[in-house]
Amino acid sequence: MTSTQDAKAPTGEVVLEAVGLTKHFPVRRTLRELFTRTHNAVHAVDDVHLTLRRGQVVALVGESGSGKSTVARLLAQLYPRTGGDIRLHGESTRVKAGRQFRGYASRVQMIFQDPFASLNPVHTIRYHLTRALRIHRNDGGDLEAALHELLTRVSLTPPERYLDKFPHELSGGQRQRVAIARALGARPEALLADEPVSMLDVSIRLGVLNLLRDLKERLNLAILYITHDIASARYFADQTLVMYAGRMVEGGDSETVTQSPAHPYTRLLIDSAPDPDRLTGDVDPLEEDRGNGEPPSLIHPPSGCRFHPRCPSAMPRCSTDLPVPLAIGDTPGHWAACWLYDSAAKESAK
Ligand SMILES: Nc1ncnc2c1ncn2[C@@H]1O[C@H](COP(=O)(O)OP(=O)(O)OP(=O)(O)O)[C@@H](O)[C@H]1O
Ligand code: SF4
Ligand SMILES: [Mg+2]
């Protein structure tokens, strides 16, 4: 099995792919629906494509409820998917509980938003890390040395100062570092970080992001970085994907997407951000300023482009035709799912 310790794995090698990934959560039926046999569902994620490569960070950006965490949980195989595929090194995977799940989880690890909730308050750091090492490695190596190595990797040094502490004895940033160390205990190839800094003090966010960047480089990790904050995506991620109401709407290298956004929703996200240079991560600008309308219901999402009820550039076809990803300008890999960039339509309008 390949592992982060496999220094020979080339940077850029594809680790994990979502292909047409779809998740619909069934909603409980009302009495009337029971009689009419209607089956409503929350269309949380529809036809999502993304690729995580070794040594690269992909940011997934979008407002609250756009489906970011659902994508991460699907990739971690914590939820069954409704449709599409998840490929690990090109191989289709669908894991169930037990040993099969542990095997997958040792290669694809999640880091959650709230480090306090993800650590058991009655157990020490030593317990958490030992458990991760035993579940995922169990290679009979020197446990104490492995514990020291994990804590050193996340800059909690000297390790003996932290090993016998309980989570409540650590700061939020230290707890998140322990959560990262625990994930590294599995020797993963991919880390799925769901808003890993949004619950931390502003002053320590940058340190944790820098740690993740350092791990990406030293361990050649593939990282999915979920955030509300498009400014931090520019700083931290190689690629940025923008999600709106369960669908991907724009993607490309982070510099291009954040400096020359093409999709009207990405532009709105950037324009609504109070300070594009900050690294706060906890503000959902569109939550604060609903000047451009509300996010749509995902039980009955808008037809055509899901953004059309809020879009300042909407055209008649936007409410009927689902936009396809279209290449933008000359920047390789930059795309947007928006009819404004349909050159065939532009030509015929001339
Ligand atoms: N277990 C579930 N059952 C039913 N609906 C769900 C479930 N989990 C998520 N949803 C719905 O799916 C949609 C996407 O939720 P998700 O948590 O993925 O969004 P998000 O982008 O991570 O939001 P946030 O930024 O607030 O974390 C939302 O409408 C949410 O209410
Ligand atoms: S497809 Fe139409 S509604 Fe959707 S973002 Fe583009 S212009 Fe706006
Ligand atoms: Mg979320």
Place of tokens 């300008």: 329
Between CA 256 and CA 196 the distance in angstroms is 24
**Predicted local confidence at residue 38, as pLDDT:** 63
| Ligand approaching nearest to the C-alpha of 45 | 1
What pLDDT is stored for residue 332 in this prediction? 93
Residue 323 CB partners (closer than 8 Å, separation 6+): 304, 305, 337, 338, 339
Question: What pLDDT, on a 0 to 100 scale, did the predictor assign at position 28?
Answer: 73
Which residues, 6+ apart, have CB-to-CB distance to 164 below 8 Å? 124, 125, 126
Residue 346: the pLDDT is 62
| Pocket flag, ligand 1, residue 167 (CB < 6 Å) | no
Residue owning the nearest CA to atom 7 of ligand 1: 25
pTM over 0.85: yes
Mutating to test ligand 1, I would choose from 70, 195, 297 the residue with most ligand atoms within 8 A of its C-beta, which is 70
* Res 294: pLDDT: 79
What is the residue with the minimal CA distance to atom 3 of ligand 2? 308
User: Could you tell me which of 330, 331, 309, 322 has the C-alpha nearest to residue 264?
Assistant: 309
Specify the residue for token string 């939550």. 287
Amino acid sitting at position 63: E
The first and second tokens of residue 42, run together, are 């929350």
pLDDT in tens, the chain (350 residues): 334 445 456 778 999 999 999 999 998 766 666 666 667 899 999 999 999 999 999 999 999 999 999 999 999 999 999 999 999 999 999 887 777 788 898 899 999 998 888 899 999 999 999 999 988 776 667 899 999 999 999 999 999 999 999 999 999 999 999 999 999 999 999 999 999 999 999 889 999 999 999 999 999 999 999 999 999 999 999 999 999 999 999 999 999 999 999 999 999 999 887 654 444 444 444 444 434 677 898 999 999 999 999 999 999 999 999 999 999 998 999 999 999 999 866 655 55
Contact (Cβ atoms closer than 8 angstroms) between residue 240 and residue 257: yes
- Ligand 2 pocket residues where CB is under 6 Å: 263-264, 305, 307-308, 311, 313-315, 318, 323, 338-340
Q: E strands of 8-156, at which residues?
A: 14-26, 41-53, 57-61, 83-88, 91-92, 108-111
CA 72 to ligand 2 centroid distance, Å: 26
- With contact defined as beta carbons under 8 Å apart, do 192 and 212 qualify? no
Q: Please tell me the number of the ligand nearest to residue 247's CA.
A: 1
pLDDT of residue 33: 61
Cα distance between residue 157 and residue 151, in whole Å = 7
Question: Distance, CA 242 to ligand 3 centroid (Å)?
Answer: 14
Cα–Cα distance measured from residue 233 to residue 300, given in angstroms and rounded to the nearest whole number: 30
Return the pLDDT at 31: 62
